Amino acid sequence: MSAPATQRSTAQVSVNSTVHEFDGPPHTNALDFLRGAGLTAAKEGCAEGECGACAIMVARPDADGTTRWTSVNSCLLPAAALDGQEVITAEGLADAESVHPVQEELAVRGGSQCGYCTPGFICSMAAEYYRPERAEDAIAADHHCGPNGFDIHSLSGNLCRCTGYRPIRDAAYALGQPEAGDTIAQRRQKPAPTSASTDIHRADTATGEPGRYRRPSTLAEALDILAAEPETLVVAGATDWGVEVNIKGARAKSMLAIDRLPELRGIRRTEDYIELGAAHTLSELERELAGSIPLLGKLIPQFASRLIRNAATIGGNLGTGSPIGDAPPALLALEAQLVLTSLQGSRVVDLAEYFTGYRQTVRAAGELITAIRIPLPLAPMTSFQKIAKRRFDDISSVAIGYAVSVEDGVVAKARIGLGGVAATPLRADATEALLEGSAWTLETVHGAAETLAAEGTPMDDHRASAKYRTAMLRSSLERFYAEQEAGR
């Protein structure tokens, strides 16, 4: 068993191969820390994960034990989370003799005008430039990947207000593979920095309020802390928490980082279920599941942007208890179960029983979501419909997950998860009951549409009216039917 970390007042972060000391209050984000250290390439545009002007690269562990350069929004990430970690900013890409190929291509193809967004684009592009699978994707180039395998969606979290995106795409698609002596590429072959056991204690200089950031190295240690201090704020990818800090001025006297706990990471497969570690990020799940849970394969690319998915965890999406998270409708359709763990042990709860009210759940103080179980076998017909104002990088107005099996032309099982139409995500129980045992025909679907439209209690808000949400539910089943028929 590892010993608890020694309390310190500073964090040590390797930025562009130089160690910098972070000695600010624990709520400080990585962007403010870097800019305070004189590294001003990363910019603040929105401070809520929407624009990518603050993007940096961090060295993250890959599934095979090597390192993956991963782009993240530094405006959301607590600086203390970088203790013992390695970071590259746009300043660190060029060397004394030459600019980096990404910088070169962006410059010569006119991909930068005012330049405010450019360092963020550079970091997202560089992370994609170093993506190990890019060479294989070049062979299978499709409408997402350029002829060089560059996935254009890697830039989905970066906004540019003045250049226009075509020159930026031209630059991305013109990139070759890293050269033999490229030290950033070589760094990938070694393991990522370990998740140092961290305990930073420091008062806010403005208010005098004490603040503490702890990153235990084992689940047992984390549960001990939670049991002793139930008011401690659990933080995983901080993509929700970072917005609270920046936009709403939220502060936590004590933060408990759980995103690197080995017990909460990885994917485990048994004969009966696939278990997803709660602290696995959406990007890791996308990569490592590789379409083996097709419904999640449809959901994840529609979840936020690459920058957000690189940090956001699946457990964090359920930890918020939000009625508009994208994972719950899909996971409800998959009849997922949550593993909730405390010092007293673990219990398994059906996701359908997890949400009890607006942002309220059965999770007790002292409990963590440690894993999400997807029972096997998987239904053959699945879909994820996300209705939002923008196709990518937007929060859902309504989200619907389907998992249906049909035998001999009759619906044998139907599971439908809904988000955005009530105070909690919910199952469309009445529609499921109506479908099961009915012939899988357009007539059945039309007959069930009104039942589906009446599920939930949609509300008017700034995203959509109740009427619109009901209309989306009404048309959803027909859309699912059409998708399935088209795919036959």
Ligand X SMILES: Cc1cc2nc3c(=O)[nH]c(=O)nc-3n(C[C@H](O)[C@H](O)[C@H](O)COP(=O)(O)OP(=O)(O)OC[C@H]3O[C@@H](n4cnc5c(N)ncnc54)[C@H](O)[C@@H]3O)c2cc1C
**Contacts with ligand X, residue ranges (CB under 6 A):** 48-50, 233-241, 243, 258, 278, 303-304, 308, 311-313, 315-317, 319-320, 325-326, 368-369, 395
- Partner interacting with residue 304 (select from ligand FES, ligand X, none; CB below 5-8 Å by kind): ligand X
Query: Nearest approach, Cβ of 155 to ligand X (angstroms)?
Result: 14
Q: What gap in Å lies between CA 235 and CA 325, rounded to an integer?
A: 17
- Contact range with ligand FES by CB under 6 A, out of 42-50, 84-92, 171-179, 355-363: 42-50
Tokens of 211: 């603040």
> Which of 163, 281, 283, 310 is close enough to bind ligand FES by CB under 6 A?
163
Our CB check for ligand FES shows the closer of 47 and 304 to be: 47
Our CB check for ligand X shows the closer of 109 and 215 to be: 215
Selection from 315, 391, 384, 321 nearest residue 354 by Cα: 321
Cis peptide before 377 (omega within 30 of 0): yes
Using rule CB under 6 A, residue 93 touches ligand FES:
no
Our CB check for ligand FES shows the closer of 147 and 164 to be: 164
Neighbour count for residue 315 (Cβ, 10 Å): 26
- Rounded to 5 degrees, φ, ψ at 334 are -85, 0
Find the binding residues for ligand FES in span 236-255 (CB under 6 A).
none
Neighbour count for residue 429 (Cβ, 10 Å): 12
Q: What gap in Å lies between CA 236 and CA 79, rounded to an integer?
A: 13
Query: Nearest approach, Cβ of 387 to ligand FES (angstroms)?
Result: 24
Our CB check for ligand X shows the closer of 216 and 319 to be: 319
Position 97, amino acid: E
> Which of 13, 30, 53, 426 is close enough to bind ligand FES by CB under 6 A?
53
- Partner interacting with residue 316 (select from ligand X, ligand FES, none; CB below 5-8 Å by kind): ligand X
Q: What gap in Å lies between CA 157 and CA 45, rounded to an integer?
A: 12
- Partner interacting with residue 238 (select from ligand FES, ligand X, none; CB below 5-8 Å by kind): ligand X
Our CB check for ligand X shows the closer of 28 and 405 to be: 28
Our CB check for ligand FES shows the closer of 4 and 36 to be: 36
Q: Give, in order, the Cα–Cα distances in Å from 143 to each of 147, 149, 153, 165, 167.
A: 10, 10, 10, 16, 17
Using rule CB under 6 A, residue 77 touches ligand FES:
no
> Which of 116, 173, 273, 468 is close enough to bind ligand FES by CB under 6 A?
116
Between strands 426-427 and 360-361, the pairing is: unpaired
Neighbour count for residue 450 (Cβ, 10 Å): 12
Q: In terms of DSSP H, where are the helices of 229-382? A: 241-248, 282-289, 294-299, 306-309, 314-319, 327-333, 351-354
Query: Nearest approach, Cβ of 2 to ligand X (angstroms)?
Result: 20
Find the binding residues for ligand FES in span 117-156 (CB under 6 A).
117-118
Residues forming contacts to ligand FES in the complex (CB under 6 A) are 44-47, 49-54, 73, 75, 112-118, 160-163
